[in-house]
Amino acid sequence: MDAVQVTFGHRLWWVDAFVGEAARGNPAVVVLLERPVGDEELQQIAYEMGVSETAFLRRLGEGWSLRWFTPTVEVDLCGHATLASLHVLLTELGTAGSEAYFQTRSGLLSGRRSRDGTLGIDLPRAYLEPVDASVLNGTLGEVEDVYQAGAQNLLAIVKDYDTLCGLAADPVGLFLAPGSLIIAACVGAPDADVAIRVFAPRLGVAEDPVTGSAMCAVAPWWAERSGSPTIVVRQASARGGLMYARLFERHVEVAGYARTFLSGEVRG
Check if the beta carbon of residue 228 is closer than 8 Å to that of residue 255: no
Burial class from Cβ neighbours inside 10 Å (0-12, 13-18, 19+) for residue 43 reads: middle
168: Cβ contacts below 8 Å, ≥ 6 apart? none
62: Cβ contacts below 8 Å, ≥ 6 apart? 101
Q: Where are the beta strands (DSSP E) in 143-267?
A: 145-149, 153-157, 181-189, 192-200, 205-208, 230-235, 241-247, 251-266
- Residue of 53, 92, 142, 207 marked active site: 53
What's the helix, strand, coil split of the chain in %, to 5? 20, 45, 35
Helix (H) or strand (E) holding 66: strand 63-69
Q: Quote the CA–CA distance of 86 and 81 in Å, as a whole number.
A: 9
SS3 254: strand
Output b/e per residue, 208-240; b: 16+ Cβ within 10 A: bbbbbbbbbbbbbbbbeeeeeeebebbbbbebb
Burial class from Cβ neighbours inside 10 Å (0-12, 13-18, 19+) for residue 142 reads: exposed
Task: Please indicate whether residue 53 is annotated as part of the active site.
Answer: yes
The set of catalytic residues is: 53
